[in-house]
Amino acid sequence: MALSRTNRQRLCLLLIRGLGHSGTTILDLALGAHPQVMGLGEAARILATPKPGEEGRAPAMLRGPRRRERICTCGVSAADCPIWGPALDWLESHEAWTLPDKMRHLMHLAAALPTARGEGPHRVLVDSFQDELVLPQSMPSDVDVRVIHLVRDVRSWLHSRLKSARQSGKPFSELRTLLRWWYVNRKFDRVLQQCGRPVFRLGYEELALQPERSLQLVCAWLNLPFSEQMLAPGAHSTSHLLSGNRMRFDRDRSRAIRYDAAWMASRDWPIQISVLVPGVAALNRKLVYSNKLINPG
């Protein structure tokens, strides 16, 4: 469905992309606390047609009666959500549409909704399905699409993932996990830099340790005035997240943007050697600390 000329001009699609477990949910909530931004969580994941064998996953469940059991962060069920209710009803008869066309229709629905605090129309719609790369390359050229590439310091990311990696029982699980950080972030950087859309590199460490300055930079890049409400996502976010990290419902954890520095006390060998690997160290500096807000250490 085509957007009107007016709506095209005032509504930007902001895609948060990167490796999982890198802070996309808290960034989505923080952006959604801005009066002119609507966060939609992993919208692309919900819009994509479920594949055989995925009947028990959220996107498939949301296409049936169980959408009344799924709670949105706006406080009501998916069926009653002012954005997802109409979108899910529409999906029932438009499943064959491409993902870019489905996203464009979702933008049309969002453009028609007033902001929660009545402070003018939404200017930015956020999708934080972090590992999706179709939309940055395939959205129509007349749609304003921008991308934030969010990357977490390799040492902090390893600290959060090594336990589950070792429990998998796969050989060389620690090395596989380290290589995954390098391979996925390098791939995303290459694809996003070639997609033809504006890309903003943001380190999770920058966001968590210097939240005000980081969000000021993001707002300036989006041509939005900075709002201090973004610093307290749990109290002010009006995002509509149906899928993503469970912390989206934890008001205590999302009350402020905080940093878990537990990895700094770890003596785990993958964490110790990660930044000694030349390719990994260079990519870490390039993607996580590009805004020079903190010292990489």
Residue 285 lies in a domain: no
Residue 177 lies in a domain: no
Give Cα 78 distance to the centre of its chain.
19
Q: Residue 193: CB partners within 8 Å, gap ≥ 6?
A: 199
pLDDT of residue 3: 38
Which of 7, 15, 219, 31 is CA-nearest to residue 121?
7
Residue 19 lies in a domain: yes
pLDDT of residue 119: 62
Share of the chain above pLDDT 90, in %: 76
Residue 277 lies in a domain: no
Residue 137 lies in a domain: yes
> Which ranges of 139-203 would DSSP assign to H, the alpha helix?
154-167, 173-193
Query: In this predicted model, what pLDDT tens digit does every residue of 82-117 receive, in sequence order?
Result: 999 999 999 999 999 999 999 999 999 988 888 766
pLDDT of residue 297: 74
Residue 228 lies in a domain: yes
Lowest mean pLDDT among 27-31, 77-81, 95-99, 120-124: 120-124
Q: Model pTM?
A: 0.92
Query: In this predicted model, what pLDDT tens digit does every residue of 40-79 receive, in sequence order?
Result: 999 999 999 999 999 889 899 999 899 999 999 999 999 9
Number of domains observed in the structure of the chain: 1
Give Cα 240 distance to the centre of its chain.
13
What's 141's domain CATH number?
A: 3.40.50.300
Q: Looking at the predicted structure, is the pLDDT value of residue 118 above 90?
A: no
pLDDT of residue 200: 98
Q: Based on the number of CB atoms within 10 Å of its own CB, is 91 exposed (0-12), middle (13-18) or buried (19 or more)?
A: buried
Residue 170 lies in a domain: no
pLDDT of residue 209: 97
Q: Looking at the predicted structure, is the pLDDT value of residue 237 above 60?
A: yes
Lowest mean pLDDT among 7-16, 128-137, 155-164, 252-261: 7-16
Per-residue pLDDT band for 166 (boundaries 50, 70, 90) equals confident
Report the run of H or E that residue 235 belongs to, with start and end: helix 233-236
pLDDT of residue 170: 83
Residue 102 lies in a domain: yes
> How confident is the prediction for the chain on average, in pLDDT?
90
Query: In this predicted model, what pLDDT tens digit does every residue of 247-294 receive, in sequence order?
Result: 555 666 677 899 999 999 999 999 999 999 999 999 999 999 999 999
Q: Structural domain of residue 150, as residue ranges?
A: 5-154+198-258
pLDDT of residue 6: 40
pLDDT of residue 231: 96
Average pLDDT over residues 170-177: 90
